[in-house]
Each structure stands twice: as structure tokens, then as C-alpha cells.
Structure 1
Amino acid sequence: MACTSNRESESSWIPPGEEYYTRLKRNLPTVHHQFVDAQLKSLAGGMPLYKVKGRGKLLPRKFFLDTEKMVLRYKGSERVLGGGSNVWSISSMSEVREGEKDFTTYLDWMDNIRDHCLAIVFNSGQKVKYLYTASRPERDMWIKGIRFAMHLGQYMDQRAQTDRYPYSYLESFVQVDKNKNGKLEIKEVMNLLKQLNARFDEKQVKQLMREAKKQEKKSDVSLNIDEFISFYHLLNTRPELNELFWRYDKNNKGYWSTRDLQDFSKQEQQVMLSDNKAKEIILEFEPQKDFREEGSKMSPTGFKDFLTSRDEQLFNSNCREVYHDMTRPITEYYINSSHNTYLEKGQLRGPSSTDAYVAALRKGCRCVELDCWDGDGDEPIIYHGHTYTTKIKFCDVISTIKEHAFKFRSQYPVILSIENHCSVKQQEVMAQYLRDILGVMLYAPENPEKKIPSPDDLKGKIVLKGKKLPSKVVTDDDIGEMSEEDEAAEIPPEERREQTTHGKLKLAPSFSDCIGMKALSYKSVSQVLDSDSLFVSLSESRSLSMIPNDINKMTNHLLVRTYPKGTRTNSSNYYPVPVWNYGCQVVALNVQTSDKSLTLNAAKFKDNAGCGYLLKPDFLLSNKEDGIENVLNGRRESGRKRLHIKIISGCQIPKPKDSKKGEVIDPYVKVKVHGVEKDTRTQRTQRIKDNGFNPRWDHDVTFDVSVPELAIVRFVIYDDDPGIDDLIGCFALPFNTIRQGYRHFPLYNKDGDKLNQAMIFVHASITDLS
């Protein structure tokens, strides 16, 4: 049964154009309409700006802000084949800000350079575009204009949930109506369907178009805008949701009562709803005015909006709040961590930037790395020593971290993992910067307590991890020596810029006093267990070659940090699951590299509000003689679970980025549990030929999981090809955050950006096996 919307907005639709956007602007909160009317007109007409490339090269371009197509575009470049796009989608932008430190250092010959610069940050946080304007007022106008466009896009996304004429529908109509006659002919509709990744028989499409026109005659099969919207709704009908709805419509009323909603929630979703909560849901999601006003009836459309809402997704919405006990010693938590944070690309060549720190913090990292070296003019710098990576100022990095450390999703501490290669003189400069810039945010107690602080104790604090002098050292004559930890020594000699040395570095007392977490160089397990340090680092190779029980013993004494081996010069990542299973708390990854490992890291730290700290399972905090061997081998007497997932359908799954024009995908879903070796298994669905728009699988997969506390479930959607299957999108989440019942989950591309409107519909159930 086709379900069309009967929303209040049907009779008050305004076609796309000036009136439509004017109404959106008036409804958009926190916007000064005088600015919108005057400034947007200037920006839409185009203004000359400079793109800042590489080490400060200025490229003259003319930029246009188009709030109808929701893009920022530019002209003036002679693009070569294979180059990037000159159109930047507003929906892909996450932030715009002023005064960037990194590239302005290359333009310091210009006056007031930071007053002229702005940076646009894209969704993944790793991609940033820099622009240079003629004046500060012009810079501010662009920043305000782009921010307005971003708010407008968010507002239109919200309206899409309740407005019969969401922006995406109107945009589709305008783009496909090539002859601009206000109607879509059959050929134009067929082209649209190809763009939407759906293959329909022309006869079937004509029948849907007639249904949309509410006519039987076969002569006119063109669609005006109102008929197109009806056609789009027919196309978006979800039979699998309607089947579920009619199952709980007890008396074939055509709607649900509050009791029907409660029955569905109890039987299928494993959630008990009170009468008041059921009414709240109807009030929030029901589009029909009369049903909504009564607060006791839900239509099929209201049910669809409810079931596709964020709070009903597969990931448990309760886990979006901090619910772990945050008062335990910090050694009892996994900590979201970044390796060589300053690098934007590879380990040997390419840029270092402060924006890389912003990207890591945006992704939830609470431990970032600083490789500190002597710079010119007694100015300490950060870069990957003995390589061709660019250099950035230590003071700029500290300022950036202070600005962004607690800006995103967490108030829990940020740990600065210091690799100190500086002379005593420049260490003293660093100490002064730390105290002047961070002030009270710096955690550097004069008399550290023996009690290990908790994440709660360190809220709002920035903590340095590094070598520290013994407390008895009180004069400059007694400056101690510090072993140099030089990861570049692992890089093949022929790829190094300089040869590494293995001498000693002296440690300045003023810098030592800034260290809040004392670190040591690993020599043996017994040495670690006998120390009073709070941190030890193990390379990827060493951590995977050690006895798991030995590592777990160390993690019960201090924080164990692991990092990629130096031969990963392309910034690839190691598989983090085994070292998490051993109990390692600080598993540092190259967050600039979007790959499976980073997907798993993002999934793991999605839990507990994404605050970057996760309390480890009790069995990893035990000092029992038998250690964790039984757990890692899957020989547990309790806690085992069976996960059953029915992969039902997909919705608006896009083509792979580089697919051929007009090609329609053949999607299938692969599901893998990542955990202890016994639990790590993969299953997949069949492929659905020529349908990414609304594929239907109805495929069951089952996993027996012995250690659910350590398991991560990852879904990957591929396009089945004769050669290598293209990855379209993926989604992953910790086992213990899975919500039972009928659920949707979104898809993310390989860069970690959300694929708009793409969803997978599943049913999940979990049963105890012990």
C-alpha cells in the first residue's frame, strides 16, 4: 500500500527561488535578516579571493556563495585532468574560522596577515581549505556568509523531516528539468532515477507517474512540481515498514493508538513505554495535524519518521551520555589517542600543521603527540625529526591545543605525549610557553600525590607526559640526563633526511616541572612494575611479540602506550584490536589516515558520549595469576552472547565515488565481529542487482561472541564488481551498545564522512549463552 504524506504544509508550498529562501531565512534562528539580504547578495555575485596553497602560494580566484544550490564555487583555475573540484558543498563543511597560524607563517612578509585569512574545515576534520581576503571586513563577511549557509543547510535538513517539500526534492526537480519548462518528461525522470542509483523499467515508471498524477489516460506522462513530489513519495514507499505497521494495526484502522505503539515497543524493541512517553513520541513524529493534536494516533508516515529517527538507531542513544564511572584511576581507562599528530600526510614528506591537532581533537582524541626539536632563533619547533616534513612552532601548537582541547565533545583531560629532542635552553623556552599560554589549565602539581588521578580529577586540564627529573634534583648543576626516544631510527637509512643519533639529552628542571605524568623507556617487565612512572611506550612490533599476560600486568600498574612501527612511512595503521584485548590503554593511531583501523577506533570510542575515555572491563583490571589467557582464548564460563541480525533493506545507497556515469550498483553487506580471536568472524548477504535506491536482502546472520565487552561489529556495504568490489560505506559500533529490535544505522564513506540519507534497516536480537 502506497503511503503518501498528508502534512499541513501541502497547501502552502512555495516554489524554489527567492520567496522560498526568504521564508527559510525568516524561520532560521539567530540570523540578522538585514545581513542576509545585503551581504548574501554580494557574496552570490562573486568576489575575488586568493586560495592559499602549499607553503604560502597565493592563487587568484573569484568565489561565489550559492545558497540555492548550497555550494561555494570558484572560477579562474585552469584545472588539469584528474584535479579536484572547484565546487565545495556547504553540507560537507563543519567549521569556518579566522586567522590560521600554519600558512600565515609563510606569508609573514604581508602586514596583518591573520586579519585577512580564513579556513574552511570539512567533515572529516582532516581536509582544510585556506583563503586570503583583501581586508578584515571582507574576511568577516565571508565567514558570516558561509556560517549562515551552514545553518541554513542544517535548518533545511530539519525541515526535511516535517515538510512535504524538503529542499532535496526541489533541488532534484530543478537539476533534472533541463529545458526549464516546469515539467519533467519521461526521459528526464529516467535520468533522475539513474542519478538516484535505481534501475526501473520505463513501463513501471510511467505507471508510477500516472499514479502521481491521479489519472488513467496514457497521453500525458509529464510531471509538474506537485506531481513530482507525489511521485517521489511513491518512489520512497517502504513496503518493509508498512508490513511492520499493519502487523500492529489491530483492527485495520489505518493508524496506531498509543497502546499499539506501546505493544510494538515492548514486543519488538524491548522498550517499555509509559502512556505519557507514547504520547510524546506521537506529538514529535506524527505529521497529520488532527492525529498530532489528539496525541493518540500515529499514521504510517509518523511511524516511518519515528523508526528512522536518531534515538531509534542501532547504536543505543543512552551511550551518547557519559555513563561510565569517571572517578577511577586514569590507568583503568582506554584513551583515544593519536600518533605523530602534527602530520597531515606521510611520515617522511609533507606538511605538519596545527590544523592536524584540531582534526585529532575533533575526532575525539585525548592524547596527542608533540615531537619537539630545536628551531632557529631559540624558537622550539615540532616536526618528524630526520625527515622532510615541514616544521611548525611549538608555541603555535600549544595555543591551538588550548583553544580546541575542550571545544568539541569532552571536558576530560588532554594528554600531550612529549618526545623531547631539545637542548636545555630551548626546553626552558618551552616551559615558559607552557606556563604562559596554558596557565591554570596545565596540570603540574608541585608535590604529586601517590594516588593516581582520575579523569574526573583532571577535567579541564592539559597534562604533559614525558621524562621527569628525580625529585631530589634542585639545581642546574644537577640537571639529569634523558634517553632520547627516536622513532625515526626505525626508518630505513636511505629514506632518512639525516642519520639518527642515540646519545643522551639533558633535561631542564623548569621543563621537568611541567610534566604531570612521568614516563620511562621500556627495558623489561620487571623494570616497569618496579617503577613509579605512569607511562611506558611500546612499538607495534614489541607489543605484538610480548606475552599478553605480561602486558596486562603492566597495564594494571601504569598507562601502556602503543604506536605504529617506524617503517609505516605512508602513515598506514596497525590493527588495534589485539593490543586493546591485552589491556593497552593508549593505542596511538595515525588519525590522518582513514582506514579500517581508524573506523574501529572511532567505533570503540563512540561509546560513553565519545568523551575519549572508556572504563576497561573488570577482567582486564584483575591481577589474578592466570591473567587474561582464558579470556583471550574464549574460555569464559559466563558473559557469552549470541547476536542475531536480520539485514532487511537499504535506502538510497549511493554509487562509489569513481563509478561510471549511469552505472547502477549491485550492493551487498558484509558483517564482521572484531574481538578476541575466537570471536572474529565474517558473514555476508547476497548481492542485489541494479538497485542502490531500495535494495531488499532479508538475510540472517548469527554470531556467538564469548567476550562481548571487547567486540566491535562492523558493517561494510560493497558494490559487487567483476574485478575488485568497491567499498561504498560502512558503520561500526561496540557490541555492548547494540540496541535490540528494528533499527536503522547510517553509512559513512572511507573518509569518515556521513553519506546523506543512506541507511540500512536491520532487526537485532541478543541472547545469553551462559
Structure 2
Amino acid sequence: MADPQPSPLPALDVSLSVPEEFKTGAVFTKINSDRKQKQVKFRLDVDQGQILWESKKYGAILVETIKEFRTGSNAAYDLAQLGLPFSDLPRFISIIYIRSGSYKTLNVLAPTPEILRQWENAVRALYTTRRDLMRGLDNVEMREAVWQKMYWKGADAGGDNKLDLKEVENLCLRLNISAPPAVVKKLFDATDSQRTGFLDFESFKQFVKSIKRRPEVDALYAQICDGSPSKIFDSQAFEMFMKGQQQSDLSVDALKAIFAKYATQPVEGQVPVLSTTAFTTFLLSSDNAVTASASGSHQVTQNMSHPLSHYYISSSHNTYLIGHQLIGESTVEGYIRALLAGCRSVELDIWDGGDNEEPVIKHGNTLTSDIPLRDICDAINRYAFVASPYPVIISAEVHLGLESQDKMVQVLKECFGNRLVHDENLLQDGMPKKKIDALPSVESLKEKFLLKAKNLYVIDNAATSLLATSTPPATIEVEEPSDTSDSEAEPTSKVAKVRGEIKSFGNKLRATFGSKKGSRPTTPSNDQRPPKPKMSIKLASLIVYTVGVKCRGLPPATPIDGVQSENAPHYEPEHIFSLSENKAKRMIKDDMLSVIKHCQNHLVRVYPKGLRVNSTNYEPHEFWAAGAQVVALNWQTTDFGYLINQAMFQENGRCGYILKPPALMDFNAKLLTQRTMHFFDVMIISAQQLPTPKRSTKSELLKKNPYVDPLAEVSLHVPDWSSTPFIPTESKAAYSPSHKATTTEPTSSRKVSFKTSIVKDNGFNPVWQEEICLPFDCLGGRESGMMDLVFVKFVVWQKGKDDDGDEPLAVYCAPLGCLKSGFRHLPLHDSQGSQHLFSTLFVEIGIRDVA
């Protein structure tokens, strides 16, 4: 008797987009970073979602890890860096992807431009399919088909389109399913109804259905049916569930439309109902996403007609670096990566390029490499508005003489053209002819570049004005030096602080007015004016809405008798000052309301202190809570500060601009002085298909038991906006006091956390069903919008590796105010922020007010 023929695999739509010759393999020329070339056969594995090639190291790319395809003019810079002739450009492609948290590049030359076009289209089709599966949890049938084919092909070691018992046991091992051999054999025999000794694809799907059964969802389904008047999961039961547990504000008609999307097809005489499978599908879908961003929506949902100062702006510090602050490499890649991820403020550190040379970008007084300013600007211009159409602020530290400043202006104008905001109508003293009452809206600045730099003409006028007042120099607050020279030494006494300010003020006046050391500055008169600052008027014309000035202190938020003192510092709407994290922290601690009031109409930039030589980050929500908009981070470091930043700017279509909470935009002092108390209630129910932990030590690599022993942790990270945290004694929470932000002090937030028990030997479908109650306080309650500045982090750890210094199995982070209540599946990511394709955490969440 002939063996039964194995069932054919169902074809995915993407298979139709991948020519057969690319599946079996096409020979391209691979170029390494050392410029060595080699003929290599590349295969596209549709089922596994990979680009494969033979390699001694690791010849595979998961297509969902691809960050960018570069061809044509976008690849010209890469081509030149590899020393290839420009004639090769039509058949050259550079693919940027991530492996183990690091950016990698695959550079190849196709035999002909036409073959390159076909191969690129095939890879893009495969990439699009996998990307769409990660954008929300929609299209469950497609997700299931991709999952089945990926694991079927991986399990079929013999390549004969059938699985024997041993192959099924290995599959369970790969899926992190810890089950005794007898249990696996029982399931295998139950599925192998024909007693053939193997599973064909149809039998395999039944086997998968058995192991993927969700008893915790079955229990919830039964509970909903029991609470329904009809005792079935009909439209009425669905509406009760959505209005009750899920706290949905959708209309009845909208809920009926969602129900119809998942319910059984109407049959005469029968009421449409949701089956347990359909209910599971709904719970995993974008119709039940935990946030708007988790639904896969890239729509801008906020009003973009507010002035610039009303938005948080996704910002990068030392964008040109991709590593260490002192010895790292300066490269255009830092700008490309940041801009494609939605960053809207990048930094340029501009230095003289030498005789007859254009300026360069480098990290001054360090061993980092330099790169031509023109190369950086070309890259910025190409990538600035790919991810978002909203304005990009170029924060420039200019270390140039007059002649080089004019060269810089020429480069900026040639690269950015009409996109560069400028004002040619300046007065002879470099000041604008017309004053503005408020900053322009984000919407009006679409696809524009704003140059932020110090305008020495403005600083000159401000210093002259200061000298004309009777205010003693010791009381003037002078801006700290930039982070490249900031020693971050803290004064040990008030006397030391005053002495330091006097000395700093004197040095700055001498630098501005050219007076000799020991001479006393005199009040300028018509006969004796200070020398003109060494600044090009052409450069001044490019600094329009983001004019860098020194921080001279802030006027009080609530002046005495409602009248502001004549000696109070004044800033025009376009003035922006930069603060190191240390100084920003001190100002917020001394007078948070004045900082909030100032940030209502003015931009403030905060940057990491100079001691963060390893490019670590602070937690940015500490400064967002005070209204600071341009809170710059080291994007090359994917630590917790970076994770918070990414979580914040996932919202509003990932456009890089987020409206501040109403209490900060309108400066409601009454609301901002009210402290409300709440509980974040969480039930950690279960996890699905957790990744296998990385093995770094020899003992881990030799460990026979590869199963995951997971535990989950939930933590709230609350800005330090009150002196005493809300921690009731009856809470189950484990409270961690104000702690280090990521690596170094001083900026930190309160952490309230709780960990579940450990589930042994199960990374496939561990179930906890553990309730957690985390207390926290907020300014102004729910209506203030300040809950958007409290961040919640869900982490799944491997047993024994559950400290902050360890790498988690998976993580999810979001603003607390953006979370939807009820039963939700959280899409899990790795520690670098890349989403795991099939990994989720099933939770029930809600926020409870304390009476």
C-alpha cells in the first residue's frame, strides 16, 4: 500500500510575489565592510521570513528586523564608502537590519539592474507581510497561517512534508512547551487518526490547535455567557462585556459592527454568536488594542495647530555618535536611524574643516572621528520627512570663525533649499525687524527645518541690558557650559555657589566685551560700545524661531500682587535655552511652577550631563512633567530612558510631536498644586509564545533543560512631583524609593513594582492569574492629563535573571494615561524595542481613584 501523500501547504499571498528562482537561490556579489567581495547565493525563505546565505558566522536576516532598504541615490553614500564606482549604483542595494540589538548592514551587487529590482520587490513584499502582522494583532487568519508554515517547516527535519513523533517532540522543545513524553505521544496519537505514524499538515494544524488551547480565555468566555440574559455569547452579551469590563465609549452601532466582524454567519432561525475561537481572535485583534499605537494606526490624532511650545518633541543628543561619547564613531547613520524612527530634533557639533575646506561634524576635544557637514546635511534632507512631515529642529553648536560660518550657511542653504526657515530682513545689529507674539504652529511648519543656535547679537543686547540694571552680578543665574566641558561638580555650600557664579559671570562678560582680566566692565554709552560679536549676519538670518540664549533665571509663576518686577528676566517667544540635566533638575526642585509657566510659551532643551561618557540616558518624563519640550536623549543606547522616550512617541501616529497635558499647556496653577491618589489594578493572566532566553555563559550553553521559567513584573515610574509618595500600607505593592535613572544620578523617578511567582518549564503558554495593586499619586487628577507622564512597564523575566541589570525575555512600556481598561493583549518587545512577532502578555487592567 502506497504511503498517503502529504497535504499541500496553503499558499500565502506573499508567495505569489516571490519568483521561484529567488526561493531556490540567486547569486549576487556580497561586499563586506572591509571592501572584500565574494560571490554568494542568496535564498528567500517565504515560510520562515528570512534572507539566507552561506556564511561561517550567521548567514540569515529575519525580514521583520530590516530597518531600511537603500537603492539609487539613497545608496550613493554607501557605495562611495565601499570604494565602488558610481556606475555600479543601478545594481547596488544596502539593507540595514538589527541583530542582537546592534545595527548591521548587508551590501550586495546584483548581476543586472533588472534582477536587483525584482529581488528588492520580492524582499519588500516579504517584509511588508511580516510588518503588517506586527502592526496590531489584526488579520488573525494570516498570522496563524504564517505561524503554522514557519514552525511546520522548521519541524520537518526530513524535508518530506510530514512529522514523526520525534520531530513533534523537538517542535515542543522549540516552542518552550514542557510536557512529559507520554503526554506528547497521547496528543500525537489523538491527532494521527489514521494511525500512519506521522502528521501531515492538516493533522499538524489540529495538533497545534490542541497545544494552543487557552483555558484562561475559556473561563472568561464562560463567565460572560453566565452573565448574559440569554446565557449565550450573542450581541447583547458582547455589548455588556464591552461597556462593562472594557469600559468602551463606542456607540451601540459601532459595537454591533465589531461583533458582526467576528460572529458566526447569520443563519435563518439562529442568533449570531461568538465562538470561543472567535472571541480569542477578537481579544488578539486591533479592535481590542491596549493603546491607539498598538492597534497599528499611524494616523495623527492630535490637533497640530498649537504653537511649538505646546508639544513634546522627540529629540536626540549627539546624534552623530553611534557609540561612546569620547571614542565613538561619528557617522551619518546616527541621523538616518533617528529620523526614520520619528526623531524631530537632531544635534550638529560644527567645527572648522581646515584651510579652504567646508566645516565638519565632530565631538569636540575627544577622539571621535569627524565627517563633512555637507554629508550630514544631505542625509538629513533625504530622511527628515520620511517618517513624519512635521518640522525638524537642527540644534547646532557652532565652533567657527566668520569665514567658516558663511561656508556653513552656504552648505545649509544648498542642502535644504526652501525647506530651511530664514529671515533676511534683519536690522544692522542682527536683530529681527518684526517681533512675534507667539511661536508658529507645528502644522504651519510642515517639512521645514528650524536652525537652533546661539545668536551672539541677541546675547550681546541681553548682556548690555543686564549691565544697565542695578542687579548685583552675584544674583544673576548664568547658564552652565555645554556638556562637553561640564565637570558636573556640585558646590558644597552656598558660598561656593555664589563665588562660582561671580567668576563665571565675569569670564562671560570678558568674552563678550573683550575686556582684559582685572578690568571693570563699564556701562556702554554712545561713545563707548562693546565690539561686535564675531558672528556672520548670514548665519543670524537662519536663526528665526529657535534663537539660543543664556538662561538668566525665570520670572516667578505667580508674581507679588500680580505684577511682574521690572528686573525679572524677560525672554522673547523665539528664545530657547539649553540646560544640562543637573541644572534642569535643580530649577525644577526650586520652583517647578515657574518652569512650567515659562515652558507654556517658550521652548526649553534639556541634554544629558557630560559624565555620561557611555551614552546612558536619564528618564525623560521627569523633565516633561515640568513642561520641557526638547528633552534630548542618546539614541544609540537602548536603556530604560530610551524605552520611555519610544513609548511616549509611539502615540499620535509616531509623528514625533505629542501635545502636552492640558494643565501644562494652559498653566492651571490650581490644578497643578492638587495631588490626587490612585491605584493601578492589574491581573497578570498569561503569556503566549515567549522567546527563548539568550545563553551567554558556557554553563548556560551546555544546559540540557532549555525551557523558560518565566515570571512577570509590573512597575510604575512616577515623576517626583511631590515630597511624599502615596504608599498605603494595605497595598500589595513592593515599593522602591527614588532610584538611579539608568546608570548615573541625579535624575530619577519613583518606582512602584510587583513581581509574580515563577511558572516552571513553560514559555509557550504560562498562566499566572495573579492580581496586583500599585499605588501612585498624580497632579490634578484625570482631567489634568498628567497621567500621560506616568509610565508603566511590563517585563517578563527568566528565573534567576530578574534584576534591572539583566536582559529581560520581553518588555512592554506605555504611558499609563494611554492604556485602555479591561482584558488586553500587550505586544511584547525585546530590550532594544523590536517587537516579537508572536509574543503577547494577557492582562486585565484598570485605574481606581482613592476617595
- CA change 1:429–1:254 in 2 (3 A) is farther
CA contact (8 A) 2:480 2:580 kept: no
CA contact (8 A) 2:439 2:601 kept: no
2:797 is aligned to: 718
1:518 is aligned to: 547
**Distance in 2 separating the partners of 1:321 and 1:197:** 37
**Distance in 2 separating the partners of 1:701 and 1:258:** 31
CA contact (8 A) 1:283 1:292 kept: no
Equivalent positions of 1:323-472 (< 5 A) are: 323-376=301-354, 377-408=356-387, 410-445=388-423, 446=425, 447=434, 449-468=436-455, 470=457
SS in 2 for 1:192: helix
SS in 2 for 1:683: strand
- CA change 1:621–1:291 in 2 (3 A) is same
Shift of 1:206: 2.1
Equivalent positions of 1:571-586 (< 5 A) are: 571-586=615-630
1:150 is aligned to: 127
Equivalent positions of 1:630-649 (< 5 A) are: 630=673, 636-638=674-676, 640-649=677-686
2:571 is aligned to: 531
2:277 is aligned to: 301
2:517 is aligned to: none
**Distance in 2 separating the partners of 1:333 and 1:265:** 33
Equivalent positions of 1:78-157 (< 5 A) are: 78-79=56-57, 85-98=58-71, 99-100=74-75, 102-107=77-82, 110-112=85-87, 114-115=89-90, 117-122=92-97, 127-133=103-109, 137=113, 139-154=116-131
**Distance in 2 separating the partners of 1:649 and 1:455:** 42
Counterpart amino acid of 1:243? A
2:29 is aligned to: 49
Q: Which moved further from structure 2: 271-280 or 154-163?
A: 154-163
Say whether residues 1:687 and 2:674 are aligned partners.
no
Shift of 1:469: 5.0
2:485 is aligned to: 489
**Distance in 2 separating the partners of 1:472 and 1:726:** 47
CA contact (8 A) 1:246 1:252 kept: no
1:312 is aligned to: 288
Shift of 1:101: 5.1
CA contact (8 A) 2:80 2:86 kept: no
CA deviations on 1:725-756 (whole Å, 9 max, x unpaired) are 64111111111111111111111101110011
Counterpart amino acid of 1:20? A
CA deviations on 1:303-360 (whole Å, 9 max, x unpaired) are 1111111231222469965444433332232211110112122222233222321211
- CA change 1:135–1:421 in 2 (3 A) is farther
Partner of residue 654 from structure 1, selected from 677, 691, 707: 691
Counterpart amino acid of 2:624? W
1:10 is aligned to: none
**Distance in 2 separating the partners of 1:471 and 1:599:** 37
SS in 2 for 1:241: helix
Partner of residue 634 from structure 2, selected from 590, 593, 605: 590
Shift of 1:208: 2.0
Counterpart amino acid of 1:213? D
CA deviations on 1:166-196 (whole Å, 9 max, x unpaired) are 1321232222222344432332222111111
2:729 is aligned to: none
TM-score computed with the length of structure 1 as normaliser: 0.83
CA contact (8 A) 1:102 1:354 kept: no
Equivalent positions of 1:128-207 (< 5 A) are: 128-133=104-109, 137=113, 139-154=116-131, 161-162=140-141, 166-207=145-186
SS in 1 for 2:444: coil
SS in 1 for 2:350: strand
CA contact (8 A) 2:691 2:839 kept: yes
- CA change 1:350–1:170 in 2 (3 A) is same
- CA change 1:637–1:107 in 2 (3 A) is closer
- CA change 1:368–1:332 in 2 (3 A) is same
Counterpart amino acid of 1:342? Y
Identity %: 28
Say whether residues 1:541 and 2:606 are aligned partners.
no
Q: Which moved further from structure 2: 386-395 or 709-718?
A: 386-395
Q: Answer with 1 or 2: which has the greater Rg.
A: 2
Q: Which moved further from structure 2: 328-337 or 712-721?
A: 328-337
SS in 1 for 2:809: strand
Shift of 1:202: 1.6
**Distance in 2 separating the partners of 1:572 and 1:299:** 49
Say whether residues 1:285 and 2:262 are aligned partners.
yes
CA contact (8 A) 2:788 2:818 kept: no
CA contact (8 A) 1:519 1:535 kept: yes
Q: Which runs of 5+ in 1 are unaligned?
A: 1-12, 80-84, 474-482, 493-500, 631-635
Shift of 1:153: 4.0
SS in 2 for 1:765: strand
2:50 is aligned to: 71
Say whether residues 1:745 and 2:826 are aligned partners.
yes
**Distance in 2 separating the partners of 1:257 and 1:465:** 59
1:259 is aligned to: 236
Partner of residue 844 from structure 2, selected from 756, 763, 768: 763
- CA change 1:24–1:434 in 2 (3 A) is closer
**Distance in 2 separating the partners of 1:382 and 1:669:** 44
Q: Which runs of 5+ in 2 are unaligned?
A: 1-5, 426-433, 461-478, 489-506, 513-532, 556-566, 727-749, 779-786
**Distance in 2 separating the partners of 1:121 and 1:186:** 40
CA contact (8 A) 2:310 2:601 kept: no
1:666 is aligned to: 709
**Distance in 2 separating the partners of 1:378 and 1:123:** 35
- CA change 1:133–1:528 in 2 (3 A) is farther
Partner of residue 535 from structure 2, selected from 488, 498, 507: 507
Say whether residues 1:614 and 2:591 are aligned partners.
no
Aligned residues: 709
- CA change 1:515–1:97 in 2 (3 A) is same
CA contact (8 A) 1:374 1:381 kept: yes
CA contact (8 A) 2:454 2:547 kept: yes
